[in-house]
Amino acid sequence: MPIKLHGYPQPDICDELLDAALQPRPAARVLFDYVNRLGTAELMARRASVDAAIMAMGITFTVYSDAGNIDRVWPFDIIPRTMSLQEWAHIDAGLKQRLTALNLFIDDLYNAQRIVKDGVFPLEVLAGSQNFRAQCRGLTPHFGVWAHVCGTDLVRDKDGTVYVLEDNLRVPSGVSYMLENRQLMKRLFPELFKSSDILPVDDYPTRLYDTLAALSPRPGERPVIVVLTPGIYNSAYFEHSYLAQKMGAVLVEGSDLVVQSDDCVYMKTIAGVSRVDVIYRRVDDDFLDPEAFRPDSSLGVPGLMRAWRAGKVGIANAPGAGVADDKVVYTFVPQIIKYYLDQDPLLPNVPSWMCMYDDQRDHVLANLDKLVVKPANESGGYGMLIGPRASVEERRQFADLIRANPRNYMAQPTLSISTAPTLFGDRFEPRHIDLRPFVLQSKDLHVTAGGLTRVALRAGSLVVNSSQGGGSKDTWIVNTREA
Amino acid sequence: MLSRVAENLYWMGRYLERAENTARFINSTTQVLLDLPRDASFGWNVLLKVAGLDHEFASRHEHADEDSLMSFLVEDEANPSSILSSIQNARENARTVREVLPMEIWERINSLYLYIRDNAPRVKQGRGPRNDVLLGVIGRRESIIGLLTGSMSRDVAYQLIKMGRNLERADMTTRIIDVNAAVQLPADPAQASLTTLGMWMSTLNALSAYQMFRTHVGVHVRGDAVVNYLLRDPHFPRTVLFCLEQIEGSLSVLPDHAPAMRRVRHAWRRLAGMQLDGLKPAVLHEYLDQVQSDLAAIHGAVAKQYFHRHQSDSTGQAQ
């Protein structure tokens, strides 16, 4: 008996798995046939067993405000999000194009600044960037790449267009959940992986290792790679530990490392100190090196920037890469692609208004009830205004914020973000989702097959961040062509 | 191996051992208490003395009745040595070293934690449920040891966990013996003799040593024979001597072990030199103090050699 649908059909919203007639789209057909054959009772039983597995495996994330209980179980929906390989191939190419251009852009900003001199990127945007690090001027890391690991968030609007919502170029997280979700699905629905052609994602740790190893200052030898974590209280600690384990890297905290007078980085071991070649850092720039950035940071390593500048250690992502991870800089990405690659962008940006320009700001202030306004440098969905859902008072307060610091804000229309069927009790209900593919770049350029699908578990909610009640789904890129 | 990771592995080993020892001791004391004459001053507070928590408990509770005491020893998060706290600490240590442990170890430690978190309140529901819960802790903890033994290379990480386990175990053995030095015997000689017998049987039981003692030493349970067995038997895995040998074996795998090794040998020599025949309680207490301070010195040498490199700005974990 087919699983019941509740909350469908939805006017003006595109569903990833079901078409307008509520029939499964081609990439979801095998899945739907399968779960309908399983039936409600069996599906619910399997969900219960997967919940128990998540609990036992300790797949967790941390909520800052949860004093006393620092980790929570990762909310996971067992119905995967599907996409056809054909559509995915286009997104894959678009992401490669985008990250190639963004890395050229970052490298240019820290060196000749041609794009500014040529009048394509305004000097005042650069001047107002909180993430531009003067300490990085004049440097060109290996391969000219600064953002080695990027998580780009994509959403689909009601007309079916997939837009880029933002590029996370600092310390993007979530990839461990992508990997764990797939492991869980293989435990849960082994039959489906046999009968349909789903692209694998398990090669990520190897790809990440290769990306990092290519940054070693001592080529030819087996590099010593460490993952630098802020520690157990960081929301992504699980992921730091997970990736270190999967790559065979050492998980370190700032206090485990020391930079000595030869400018090399060492880790403190029970047998003395031992040299480190590459640091995959999951600590923000600000906290990386108290000598170079925030002097009060206890998470970082004094002298790390000195070691990096001297070419004695590879750091991913490079300090300063966050300059392109700024929602105002984001609005220029189409021009950035055109400027460096002389190509039209394959993936569109969401149309945006920049509050730094008088006419655009006036438009934003006059239409606050229709727009989503985002601060330039926040992540995790913090500090933004969702106009249509805000009260009059909230909108008034936000207007003051914008007037006080226009460079810090940009606005976008509220999209009708697509949904996917999500299991609640014994039925499927639509929930809004996004997609975060991960892009690796150093010697090679690689995009994960799919990525992390985040889902807003509260009915009608658009906020998918795990820190604010979001969960996740496995993402299946399905080859629908008959072999 | 990072110094910080080494320290966390060592403490993970200690906390897991502490949780299991406490569970065993509560169970064996419960059984033996039922057989003792009423006027023997051997009550529930014995459990507090062993853990060195009598003052802490007294500051928060008026009476050492069974329920409040069990709650304090098993589920009280404010008591740093309660079973729940010990398992929580072991789990926090394991969380920071997941990448050097076999994946399944973390899952087992996590599920031990979930088990005690969910079941600890049952220890106040009477002796039957309490026994079940504590056996549940012991069984789960033993399965972790089994998994470590069966799935982990005898590498540095393994040796550190094992060293923490053996130091904690030796320390607990001395504490459990020490309880007897503090007992006031009843005036009536027949009663006193019965009480003494009960005490030493309880001691052997708490260390799961009763059966082995009878097999290898004799059926008659005598104080000095028990003390000698629990301190110096080379074959039973909870004796101080056995634990020292294990610690020595672990240390020999670690780099730069000479200073800590010297402390082990020193402890060993002092243990061998003890005169245990016809032992008086006051002397016994002094001997046990000596062993405990020797064990603390071994811990100090290990911490100084291996852990303190990363600790210039922080303090270590509490003993």
Comparing A80-84, A157-161, A383-387, A473-477, the range with the smallest average pLDDT is A383-387
- Does residue A357 sit in the same domain as residue A453? no
Q: Does residue A156 lie within any of the structural domains?
A: no
Q: What is the pLDDT, as a whole number, of residue B41?
A: 52
Write out chain A residues lying below 8 Å of B92, CB-based: 232
Q: What is the pLDDT, as a whole number, of residue B36?
A: 65
Could you give the angle at which helices B3-33 and B127-151 cross, rounded to 10 degrees? 140
Specify which residues A435 forms β-bridges with.
A154, A453
Q: Does residue A347 lie within any of the structural domains?
A: no
- State the DSSP string of B231-289: HH-SSSTTSHHHHHHHHHHHHHHSSS-HHHHHHHHHHHHHHHT---TT--HHHHHHHHH
- Does residue A409 sit in the same domain as residue A474? no
Q: For B77, which residue in chain A has the nearest alpha carbon? A: A68
Q: Do B110 and A237 touch (CB under 8 A)?
A: no
**CA-closest candidate to residue B16, choices B87, B94, B96:** B87
- Which residue, of A362, A382, A413, is where some domain finishes? A413
**CA-closest candidate to residue A436, choices A153, A16, A80:** A153
- Residue B318: phi and psi, rounded to 5, are -75, 145
CA contacts within 13 A on the Cβ side of A280: 30
Cross-chain CB nearest to B309 (options A244, A253, A268): A268
Q: What is the mean pLDDT of residues A168-186?
A: 92
Residue type present at position B18: R
Cα–Cα dist B37/B32, whole Å: 11
Q: How far is B49 from chain A (nearest CA, A)?
A: 29
CATH of the domain at A362: 3.30.1490.270
Write out chain B residues lying below 8 Å of A249, CB-based: 99
Q: What is the pLDDT, as a whole number, of residue A247?
A: 93
Longest dimension (CA), chain B: 60
- Supply the range of the domain harboring residue A375: 353-413
Cα–Cα dist A126/A103, whole Å: 16
Residues in chain B: 319
In this predicted model, what pLDDT tens digit does every residue of A280-317 receive, in sequence order?
999 999 899 999 888 887 788 999 999 999 999 999 99
Q: Do A256 and B99 touch (CB under 8 A)?
A: no
Write out chain B residues lying below 8 Å of A267, CB-based: 2
ipTM over 0.85 threshold: no
Angle, vertex CA A226, rays to CA A224 and CA A229, nearest 5: 170
Q: Does residue A284 lie within any of the structural domains?
A: no
Write out chain A residues lying below 8 Å of B302, CB-based: none
Digit-by-digit pLDDT tens for chain B (319 residues) are: 999 999 999 999 999 999 999 998 888 778 767 666 665 555 677 778 777 788 888 888 887 788 888 899 999 988 888 999 999 999 989 988 887 888 789 889 988 999 999 999 999 888 899 999 999 999 999 999 999 999 999 999 999 999 999 999 999 999 888 877 666 677 778 877 877 888 888 889 888 898 999 999 987 888 889 999 999 999 999 999 999 999 999 999 999 999 999 999 999 999 999 998 888 888 898 999 999 999 999 999 999 999 976 554 444 565 5
Q: Is B317 exposed, middle or buried (0-12, 13-18, 19+ CB in 10 A)?
A: middle
Percent helix, strand and coil across chain B, each to the nearest 5: 75, 0, 25
Q: How far is A251 from chain B (nearest CA, A)?
A: 7
**Chain A interface disruption, residue of B2, B111, B113, most A CBs within 10 A:** B2
Q: Look up tokens 């006017």; give the residue.
A: A11
Specify which residues A226 forms β-bridges with.
A250, A279
Q: Does residue A461 lie within any of the structural domains?
A: yes
Cross-chain CB nearest to A270 (options B110, B111, B255): B255
- Does residue A369 sit in the same domain as residue A440? no
Q: How far is A293 from chain B (nearest CA, A)?
A: 20
In this predicted model, what pLDDT tens digit does every residue of A191-208 receive, in sequence order?
899 888 999 999 999 999
Q: Do A270 and B103 touch (CB under 8 A)?
A: no
Write out chain A residues lying below 8 Å of B140, CB-based: none
Q: Do B156 and A270 touch (CB under 8 A)?
A: yes
Q: What is the pLDDT, as a whole number, of residue B243?
A: 98
Cross-chain CB nearest to A269 (options B3, B95, B103): B3
- Does residue A27 sit in the same domain as residue A58? yes
Residue A325 · residue A337 · CB < 8 Å: no
Cross-chain CB nearest to B255 (options A57, A271, A298): A271
* B317 vs A: CB within 8 A: no
Q: Which residues of A touch B (CB under 8 A)?
A: 55-58, 231-232, 237, 241-242, 244-245, 249-253, 255-256, 267-271, 298
Q: Do B309 and A232 touch (CB under 8 A)?
A: no
Could you give the angle at which helices B258-272 and B240-253 cross, rounded to 10 degrees? 160
Q: Do B310 and A268 touch (CB under 8 A)?
A: yes
Cross-chain CB nearest to B313 (options A56, A255, A271): A255
Q: Is the pLDDT of residue A145 over 50?
A: yes
Q: Does residue A394 lie within any of the structural domains?
A: yes
Residue type present at position A467: S
Cα–Cα dist B15/B87, whole Å: 6
Distances in Å between the Cα of A142 and the Cα atoms of A196, A315, A444, B123 are 40, 10, 12, 61
Please name the helix (run of DSSP H) or strand (run of DSSP E) that holds residue B163, with its range, or none.
helix B156-181
Q: Do A270 and B106 touch (CB under 8 A)?
A: no
pLDDT averaged over every residue in chain A: 91
Q: What is the pLDDT, as a whole number, of residue B183?
A: 66
Q: What is the pLDDT, as a whole number, of residue A379?
A: 60
Q: What is the pLDDT, as a whole number, of residue A187?
A: 87
Write out chain A residues lying below 8 Å of B98, CB-based: 241-242, 245
Q: How would residue A90 be classed by pLDDT, with cut points 50, 70 and 90? A: very high
Q: Do A271 and B110 touch (CB under 8 A)?
A: no
Q: Does residue A453 lie within any of the structural domains?
A: yes
Total tally of structural domains belonging to chain A: 2
**Chain B interface disruption, residue of A224, A253, A270, most B CBs within 10 A:** A270
Q: How would residue A65 be classed by pLDDT, with cut points 50, 70 and 90? A: very low
Q: Is there a cis peptide before residue A317, judged by omega within 30 degrees of 0?
A: yes
- Does residue A71 sit in the same domain as residue A184? yes
**CA-closest candidate to residue B62, choices B72, B49, B52:** B72
- Which residue, of A379, A413, A447, is where some domain finishes? A413
Cross-chain CB nearest to A256 (options B99, B110, B310): B310
In this predicted model, what pLDDT tens digit does every residue of A320-344 receive, in sequence order?
999 998 888 999 999 999 999 999 9
A31/B100: higher pLDDT: A31
Q: How would residue A64 be classed by pLDDT, with cut points 50, 70 and 90? A: very low
- Does residue A389 sit in the same domain as residue A428? no
Q: Do B4 and A253 touch (CB under 8 A)?
A: yes
> What is the DSSP code (8-state) at residue B72?
I
- Does residue A79 sit in the same domain as residue A182? yes
- Does residue A357 sit in the same domain as residue A474? no
Q: Is the pLDDT of residue A382 over 90?
A: no
- From chain B residues 286-305, the ones with a CB under 8 A of any chain A CB are 305
Q: Is the pLDDT of residue A52 over 90?
A: no
> What is the DSSP code (8-state) at residue A15?
B
* B313 vs A: CB within 8 A: yes
- Does residue A79 sit in the same domain as residue A183? yes
Q: Is the pLDDT of residue A142 over 80?
A: yes
Q: Do A241 and B255 touch (CB under 8 A)?
A: no
Q: What is the pLDDT, as a whole number, of residue A68?
A: 47
Cross-chain CB nearest to B107 (options A57, A241, A270): A57
Q: Does residue A301 lie within any of the structural domains?
A: no
Q: Does residue A483 lie within any of the structural domains?
A: no
- From chain B residues 162-191, the ones with a CB under 8 A of any chain A CB are none
* B98 vs A: CB within 8 A: yes
Give me B28's structure tokens. Answer: 């064996």
Q: What percent of chain A has pLDDT over 70?
A: 94
Comparing A214-218, A438-442, B57-61, the range with the smallest average pLDDT is B57-61
Angle, vertex CA B62, rays to CA B57 and CA B67, nearest 5: 70
- Does residue A82 sit in the same domain as residue A14? yes
**Chain B interface disruption, residue of A269, A274, A279, A296, most B CBs within 10 A:** A269
- State the DSSP string of A71-133: EEEPPEEEEEEEEEHHHHHHHHHHHHHHHHHHHHHHHHHTTT-HHHHTTSS-HHHHHT-TT--
Positive or negative torsion for Cα A472, A375, A117, A344? positive
Q: Do B256 and A245 touch (CB under 8 A)?
A: no
Roughly how many angstroms between the first and final C-alpha of chain B, as a whole number? 22
**CA-closest candidate to residue A322, choices A142, A150, A123, A117:** A150
